[in-house]
Amino acid sequence: MTTGPLTPPASSPTALIAEDEPLLAQALAAELATAWPELRIVATVGDGLSAVQRALELRPQVLFFDIRMPGQDGLDAAAQLADEWPPELALPALVFVTAYDQYAIQAFERAAVDYLLKPVQTQRLVQTVQRVRQRLDAHPQAQSAVEPELMARLRALLASGHAATMSPGASGGAVAPLRSIQVSAQVNAQGSAGNTIRMIPVSEVLCFEAADKYVRVLTAQQEHLIRTPLKDLCAQLDPQQFWQIHRSVLVRADAIDTVSRDEAGRQWVALRGLAQRLPVSRLYAHLFRAM
Amino acid sequence: MAPPLQPANSHLKATKAATTAATRAATRPGGTRAAARIDWRAKLRHFVQVVAFALAIAGIQYAFTPQRPLGPPMVYSLLIATITWAIIDLGRELFPSSAQTGWPPGLQGLGLVVTGIVVGYLAGTALAEALCVHVFRFYAAGAHTAALDVRSSLIISALAGIAGTYYFYTINQAAYLQRQTAQALHQASQARLKLLESQLEPHMLFNTLANLRALIGTDPPAAQRMLDRINDYLRATLAASRATEHPLRAEFERLRDYLELMQVRMGERLAFTLDLPEDLATHPVPALLLQPLVENAIKHGLEPKIQGGHISVSARREGASLVLVVHDTGVGPPPETSAAPDAAHDAGASTADAQAGVSDGSGGFGLAQVRERLATAYGEQGVRARRADELFQWGPAEGGGTRCRITIPLQP
């Protein structure tokens, strides 16, 4: 974080760098000090979890996210940040830095967000800095206007099962839609259920919610826990039938009763047959924008 | 060696259609499937050779006793030889191991030969006697049972049977060894290809170059050292393409190059120790055998773990075995490695890559390849036969992380 001998004033733009290779993080900071002397780097982190945590704490205006990072990758970190960023504030300008994530590069090529290829070349960095500065200098309205496009790109990438970080062939082929879900009775039962496996028809499921290592499967009557990750479930469910409204929530579209906005600006979905309300991420807010 | 090698080559040719590694690997374990693949052209060739051999023996017998007719010894010789051949050459296909080595192991093989010769002699003699008396009418019944004849024909049968068996056994062995060598070469080139792919893997390549670019600006001597590592590493890979085996010392040097490169990239997140006792340094191992294990340890063990960890690679002597251990303190294998169709729930592995790499029990391409190379080099042959799970063990380590253990026979 060599920001030069002159410490810029506190009102100068701030940035966070998330990069797991320390030399590359240092090098990017050093290059930025030349290309954008006013920029103040408020934190450098080495993993995707701290990236979100520190960004929420420090609220920098620019984020440089490596795509491949431990903890969670840069795309997941961006999605989580979109979920947890205060709804009244515009998202920071996001620049992805990657050695080679062809799909991500293509996705962001003409989007409102920028990307840098490693090794980062000075000339290219200067261009990126210009673009980001224009965005920051622009009217806040103009800035939030680019957000839907960024969200759409990010959504597409996340939905494609991280084509960026996948090995070729791993994503190949459509999966037959899931008809029923196997739950071991042991996980949900109060008492000794033994080795019984219950089959829950997908048509009865109202909502899937990721919780820690499990996914909660909610029907009108019961709650079950399964270990299949939400990402895998997504690929096996009909996207017309189940809508993703949050990084960790899938709901049955025709069970949606109301969508309401609270005083903080956050949207909530209520389902028929379910007492619990479910949050809508700004990443998926487009689903209810036309209403 | 020329005559035995001739049929051995044609053997190879005959099985050429099935010599891709994949089909060989697929057909290897099933005895029934192997039995269904009897090469009848080879059998016919064997039979013709046996007939020629039998006629030659009859000819020699006739040469020693020209006062007797040629007919009876020919009939006897042909029948005994045919039956003996049928029992041994066709019978061995009933043993599953024949699919690989072409020969039943140990006592089973010996038993087959003895059975073949005894039954061949008894049945052949009885049949030949019947033919000589009733069909060819060489002589009347009972006229040809002199004790001397019985003894000499028994001895001739036994010697001829043993000689014939030895001849075919040698051919088979040569063909088997040739197949083994071809397979070992194939796997070694696969390993090198895999290594080249991992070197040229864009993330590895561009991240390494990005680090180099960063160092050139800030620490030129360190940049030079890093470039030297890259050079050594690339050169070693190319050099290894000339040998399927190299000494353990070379193996450990390649690992050091790789780990030092990764250390520049990962910084404090990667620590490693390499432990090679001096007296094992010259022991030969399949070239770059451990490389995929160390790559896995980094890719699936340490890279996903925020605080990184430690990798240790060690070689030691355990009785008559050489034990190689690759241990990392990373995230460890996924909790469930069951074969359930939806077993890919691994909370730790965020990318599908990681799942494909480790969660399928066999451990993905890298581990499967190591297993296969070990099985080819040390498995199921001779007195040092080892089962695959004895050669290679892979699983969670005590206190987290992953541990691979390779146990191969020490060479004298």
Q: What's the confidence (pLDDT) of residue B405? A: 93
- Global pTM value: 0.64
Q: Which residues of A touch B351 (CB under 8 A)?
A: 73, 162, 165-166
Structure-token pair, residue A71: 């903890």
Question: Both ends of chain A: CA-CA distance in Å?
Answer: 46
Share of chain A above pLDDT 70, in %: 81
Number of continuous H segments (helices) and E segments (strands) in chain B: 16, 7
Q: What's the confidence (pLDDT) of residue B28? A: 39
Q: Which residues of B touch A183 (CB under 8 A)?
A: none
Q: What's the confidence (pLDDT) of residue A140? A: 62
**Which residue among B218, B336, B353 places its CB closest to the CB of A170?**
B353
Residues from B contacting A (CB-CB < 8 Å) are: 202-203, 205-207, 209-215, 217-218, 264-269, 303-306, 308, 336, 342, 344-347, 350-353, 355-357
Average pLDDT over every residue of A198-216: 88
CA quadruple B175, B178, B184, B187: dihedral positive or negative? negative
**Which residue among A118, A120, A228 places its CB closest to the CB of B342?**
A228
pLDDT tens-digit profile of A228-245? 888 888 888 888 889 989
Question: Which residues lie below 8 Å from residue A255, measured CB to CB, with a gap of 6+?
Answer: A206, A207, A271, A272, A273, A274
Structure-token pair, residue B114: 């003895």
> Which residue from B minimizes the CA distance to A158?
B351
What is the residue-wise DSSP string for B312-332?
EEEEEEETTEEEEEEEE-SS-
Nearest-Cα distance to chain B for A250, in Å, is: 18
Residue type, B285: V
Nearest-Cα distance to chain A for B223, in Å, is: 11
Q: Which residues of B touch A161 (CB under 8 A)?
A: 352
Structure-token pair, residue B47: 């039979």
How many other CB atoms sit within 10 Å of the CB of residue A168? 8
Q: What's the confidence (pLDDT) of residue B27? A: 37
C-alpha to C-alpha distance for A185 and A224, rounded to whole angstroms? 8
B266 and A21: CB-CB below 8 Å?
Answer: yes
Q: Which segments of chain B have a pLDDT < 70?
A: 1-37, 97-102, 140-149, 195, 198-199, 240-243, 335-365, 380-388
Q: What's the confidence (pLDDT) of residue A113? A: 63
Q: How many residues does chain A have?
A: 291
**Which residue among A70, A100, A120 places its CB closest to the CB of B305?**
A70
Q: What's the confidence (pLDDT) of residue A51? A: 95
pLDDT tens-digit profile of A6-64? 554 557 899 999 999 999 999 999 999 999 999 999 999 999 999 999 999 999 999 99
Nearest-Cα distance to chain A for B1, in Å, is: 48
More confident residue, A204 or A156: A204
> Which residue from A minimizes the CA distance to B302?
A70
**Which residue among A24, A50, A100 places its CB closest to the CB of B211?**
A24
What is the residue-wise DSSP string for A127-178?
HHHHHHHHHHHS-HHHHHHSHHHHHHHHHHHHHTT-GGGSPTTTT-SPPPPP
Q: Is the ipTM of this complex over 0.85?
A: no
Do the beta carbons of residue A65 and residue A16 sit within 8 Å?
no
Query: Using a CB cutoff of 8 Å and minimum separation of 24, what contacts does A184-193 make?
Result: A187/A214, A187/A224, A187/A225, A187/A226, A188/A222, A188/A223, A188/A224, A188/A225
- Choose, out of B262, B268, B342, the residue to mutate when testing the contact with A (most A CBs < 10 Å): B342
More confident residue, A12 or A2: A12
Nearest-Cα distance to chain A for B267, in Å, is: 6
Rg (CA), chain B: 30
Q: Which residues of A touch B357 (CB under 8 A)?
A: 167
Q: Does the pLDDT of residue A188 top 80, yes or no?
A: no
Interface A-B, measured as beta-carbon pairs within 8 A, has a size of 102
> Which residue from A minimizes the CA distance to B208?
A119
User: How far lies B96's CA from each of A46, A148, B34, B200, B380, in Å?
Assistant: 55, 65, 7, 42, 12
Comparing CA positions, the residue from A237, A220, A205, A202 lying closest to residue A272 is A220
CA quadruple B250, B252, B256, B257: dihedral positive or negative? positive
C-alpha to C-alpha distance for A129 and A140, rounded to whole angstroms? 18
C-alpha to C-alpha distance for B187 and B185, rounded to whole angstroms? 5
Q: Which residues of B touch A68 (CB under 8 A)?
A: 203, 303
What's the mean per-residue pLDDT of chain A?
Answer: 80
A46 and B351: CB-CB below 8 Å?
Answer: no
Q: Where are the beta strands (DSSP E) in B175-280?
A: 245-247, 270-275
pLDDT tens-digit profile of A243-273? 989 888 999 999 999 998 888 778 899 999 8
